Amino acid sequence: MGEFRSSLPYFFEGVMVALLFAFLFTRWWMRLLREKRENVLNLARKEGELLAWDIRSQAEQEITKTRAAFLDEQQRLTAERQRAETELAETRARLETRADELAKQESFFNSRRGEIEALRDQLEQQSQLYRTRLRQLSTLNEEELRASLREEVRKECERELRQERNELLARGDAELKDEGRRILIDALQRLTSTVPAEIGATLVRIPGEEMKGRIIGREGRNIKAFESATGVTLMIDETPDAVLVSSFDPVRREVARLALERLVADGRIHPASIEETVKKAEEEIRENVAMLGEKAVLRLHLQRVHPEVLSYLGKLHFRLSNNQNTLEHSVEVASICAMLAAELGLDPEPAKRAGLFHDLGKAMDRDIEGSHAVAAANLLRTYGEDAKVVNAVAAHHQEVPEESIYAPLLMIADAVSAARPGARSESIEGYLQRVRSLEDLARSFPGVVEAYAVQAGREVRVMVSPEKLTDLEARQLARDLRKKIEDTSSFPGTIKVTVIRESRFNEVAK
């Protein structure tokens, strides 16, 4: 009993330890179960999230595919709609164009129908007149029929005679024109002289660049003395071995050229030698001018020409008009004018003198009053020239009234000499102006898209809009343009007019 009591504390202690152990074991087991449950829950949650993400991604892919397919279908439908709208618009435009053409054709046919109906009415009226006339004739006796027949024959003969008279008058005009052409051609065929196309640039060659410094002189005294003595301008630039002599007066320019060539050849260039050389050159040119005038008069076998007129004639040798030597041009005009007068049975002497003297005003000083034609006429009147010659010279540019047949003869001869092929060289500015004027004239017509002048202005190609002009209107445009060129232009030769109308239809396959 005593032992039992003594061991009882140990028993309770063991029980307490066992209970404690059981409690701790139960607590550990409960925690283990809780952690396992949480792991299971977390695993289930993660699997659910993965499943949901997989479902969501599949749904998004399906939605993306569906959206892409929808957009493609929408683009295809939009493209088809646009293509259908474009085709509809083109079809509408073609139908409108066709409707306009049909309306124009209908208007044309209506006008023709009106003309045909008018002709039909006229034929019916004539038929009624013939029937009435036949009924009247059936009631006439033999004498009345003869009288009526004579009246009909008389009226018919009057119409034929009137028509014959008109034909004879027209034939007379044509024969007169042919005779005029024949006279002009005969006169030109008898002319054998040619007019050289000369260049008016005056260059003086020098032996070396060192000579330019000698021409200029110390502080420019030599060039100043030369320009003062001659009245020209010396242009000394970087052009190798050359000096340009510039002046509006061709005689002064020739004097300066001759004097400078002699100074360069002599080598002694100073103000005193310059003045002496220029005086000698002036005397030589003066003698040369008179000699040139005398030669021109002798070539034409003219008499009684005043020395002052001869001097002005010689000066024309140094003047160019569109690269044509004016003195040679005057001699040619005199020859043509004299031959035209001879063909017409007129005195060739006044015609020859008028042709030779018609450009004398171009050799006179620039401070003269009036044009060169009026100035030349005043000069000739001063030296006692024939009144018919004076009037022809003054009127050859239609500035004064014509008083004799020699004025139009001089106009014709002057125009023939100037327009003869090779007489005058045309500048590039004149060519471009002719081409531009032809193109602008073609573009002034309605419906013209573009116009080009080709073959040096001898052909005009016009492109028209097929929507604005029909084939008939394009053909009429060619006729109208040809007529306007003939009425407003004075180009030599012929000009071909080509009107192009074409339709192009383009489609793009995708």
- Taking only the tens place, the pLDDT of each residue in 9-44 is 677 777 788 888 888 888 888 888 888 888 888 888
Highest-confidence range of 149-153, 261-265, 275-279, 441-445, by mean pLDDT? 441-445
Instruction: Return residue ranges of the chain for CATH 3.30.300.20.
Output: 428-500
Between 90 and 343, name the one with better pLDDT.
Answer: 90
**Cβ distance 423 to 197 under 8 Å?**
yes
Q: pLDDT tier at 199 (50, 70, 90 boundaries)? A: very low
**Cβ distance 474 to 499 under 8 Å?**
yes
Where would I find the beta strands (DSSP E) of 189-291?
Answer: 203-205, 233-235, 242-246
Percent over 90 (pLDDT), the chain: 0
Instruction: Return residue ranges of the chain for CATH 1.10.3210.
Output: 203-419
Mean pLDDT of 473-499: 80
The one-letter amino acid at 428: I
C-alpha separations of 120 from 65, 117, 127 in Å:
79, 5, 10
CATH architecture type of domain 203-419? Orthogonal Bundle (1.10)
Between 216 and 1, name the one with better pLDDT.
Answer: 216
**Cβ distance 417 to 332 under 8 Å?**
yes
Using CA atoms, how far apart are residues 391 and 91, in angstroms rounded to an integer? Answer: 72
pLDDT of residue 175: 61
Percent over 70 (pLDDT), the chain: 77
Q: Would you state the torsion angle of the CA atoms of residues 93, 98, 104, 107, taken in this order, to the nearest 10 degrees?
A: -120
Residues paired with residue 462 on neighbouring β-strands, in sequence order: 451, 499
pLDDT of residue 192: 43
pLDDT of residue 320: 66
Both structure tokens of 257? 């050229």
pLDDT of residue 431: 61
Predicted confidence (pLDDT) at residue 300 exceeds the cutoff of 70: yes
Predicted confidence (pLDDT) at residue 279 exceeds the cutoff of 50: yes
Q: pLDDT tier at 195 (50, 70, 90 boundaries)? A: very low
Mean pLDDT of 229-248: 77
Q: pLDDT tier at 172 (50, 70, 90 boundaries)? A: low
Predicted confidence (pLDDT) at residue 159 exceeds the cutoff of 70: no
Mean pLDDT of 443-472: 84
Q: Would you state the torsion angle of the CA atoms of residues 242, 248, 254, 259, taken in this order, to the nearest 10 degrees?
A: -60
Find tokens 């005593």 and name the residue: 2
Predicted confidence (pLDDT) at residue 486 exceeds the cutoff of 60: yes
To which CATH superfamily is domain 428-500 assigned? K homology (KH) domain (3.30.300.20)
Predicted confidence (pLDDT) at residue 152 exceeds the cutoff of 80: no
**Cβ distance 317 to 325 under 8 Å?**
yes
Residues sharing a CB contact under 8 Å with residue 438, sequence separation 6 or more, in sequence order: 451, 453, 457, 460, 485, 489, 495
Sheet with 496-500: list strands edge to edge. 448-454, 459-464, 496-500
Using CA atoms, how far apart are residues 302 and 313, in angstroms rounded to an integer? Answer: 13
Listed range (71-85, 219-233, 374-388, 484-498) with the worst mean pLDDT: 484-498
**Cβ distance 460 to 497 under 8 Å?**
yes
Find tokens 């020239």 and name the residue: 385
Using CA atoms, how far apart are residues 106 and 256, in angstroms rounded to an integer? Answer: 78
Listed range (137-151, 274-288, 393-407) with the worst mean pLDDT: 137-151
pLDDT tens, residue by residue, 407-452:
888 888 777 776 655 445 444 555 677 778 888 888 889 888 888 8
Predicted confidence (pLDDT) at residue 353 exceeds the cutoff of 80: yes
* 290 burial type by CB count under 10 A (0-12 exposed, 13-18 middle, 19+ buried): middle
Residues sharing a CB contact under 8 Å with residue 469, sequence separation 6 or more, in sequence order: 447, 477, 501
Single out the residue of 379, 330, 336, 382 nearest to residue 359, CA to CA: 330
φ/ψ (deg, to 5) at 246 = -120, 130
DSSP string, 455-509: TTTTEEEEEE-TTT--HHHHHHHHHHHHHHHHHH---SS--EEEEE---------
Residues paired with residue 244 on neighbouring β-strands, in sequence order: 203, 235
Between 439 and 1, name the one with better pLDDT.
Answer: 439
Mean pLDDT of 98-116: 82
pLDDT of residue 180: 60
CA 288 remoteness from chain centre: 45
The mean pLDDT of the chain is 76
**Cβ distance 222 to 270 under 8 Å?**
yes
Predicted confidence (pLDDT) at residue 183 exceeds the cutoff of 70: no
Cα 243–Cα 246–Cα 247 angle in degrees, nearest 5? 155
* 441 burial type by CB count under 10 A (0-12 exposed, 13-18 middle, 19+ buried): middle
Q: pLDDT tier at 190 (50, 70, 90 boundaries)? A: very low
Both structure tokens of 442? 């073609």
Mean pLDDT of 84-99: 88
Q: pLDDT tier at 99 (50, 70, 90 boundaries)? A: confident
